[in-house]
Amino acid sequence: MSAVPARAALPPGAASREVERHRGDAVERVRDAVAEEVPVALLYNDRPHVVMMATPQDLDDFALGFSLSEGILDAAGELESVVVTPLLEGIELRLRVPPARAEALEERRRNLTGRTSCGLCGAQALEDAVRQPAAVRGGPRIDDAILRHALAQMHERQPLNAVTGATHAAAWARVDGTLAHVREDVGRHNALDKLVGALVRAGEDVHAGFLVVTSRASYEMVQKAATAGIALIAAISAPTALAIQLAETTGVTLIGFARRDSHVVYTQPQRLAARQEASP
């Protein structure tokens, strides 16, 4: 990325480090902006559940979104409180949930470290890893122009990636293509969890918009989105075969290779129509 002036204000989640930059035969020492990545531990009713490597911003959204997208909670109201505690080793998120939820979680408790590229780390059984969400009903109907309008806004809505080049983004577009919420993180799953939390906190109707992600559409991204009730996903990169299978069985419209002038619809194409030409 470009050199960072010594007193430049960085967006939350970025840090400044001195680096040695080589360009052709020239070598210079400059300040560079890099994305922060810290261990974030989630504890439910004081019991450790999982540690994720994440960008330390929007952590209240992350706590709620992770709890919902992982099926730990069924509704936002079940999250009674979140206490964010910075520690020398990382950050603790202490979540208070109803005892019945904590007991159910204990039965499938995962206490392993999840890495930024792995949304299934810590799953102890196949049924934990390959979880089938309920079918998604309804959802928006959009056309190509609306999708492209949403994509056109993505770059300017990613301030952290603009200075670091190291983060993913998950964005919520309304039915006219306007981006209403965007969350960034070094982990694509974390960015989606943060977005889910933000949507719920804002009272957004998940049937009245669609998801845009800057990563590939892996199985767990579709799983999280479907669990949250999101019916249409547009990914800038490719989906996997298992993601396509899950999207089909859960009724999710899955779009890959989304660009300003092209895209590929893999499942449930009825929600996306080609742009209609005006009548004579």
Active site residues: 118
Give the Cα-Cα-Cα angle 44, 49, 55 (nearest 5 degrees).
Answer: 95
Contacts 24+ apart (CB under 8 A), 268-274: 270/141, 271/139, 271/140, 271/141, 271/142, 271/231, 271/232, 272/141, 272/142, 272/143, 272/144, 272/147, 272/232, 273/141, 273/142, 273/143, 273/144, 274/143, 274/144
The candidate with the shortest Cα–Cα distance to 247, out of 272, 265, 274, is 265
- For residue 97 the two structure tokens come to 């949930």
CA distances from 277 to 149, 263, 274 (A): 17, 19, 9
User: Which pairing describes strands 179-185 and 168-174: parallel, antiparallel, or unpaired?
Assistant: antiparallel
* Separation between Cα atoms, residue 233 and residue 243, nearest integer Å: 11
Strand, coil or helix: what is 247?
Answer: helix
Contacts 24+ apart (CB under 8 A), 254-257: 254/217, 254/222, 255/147, 256/216, 256/217
- For residue 215 the two structure tokens come to 């990563």
Strand, coil or helix: what is 227?
Answer: helix
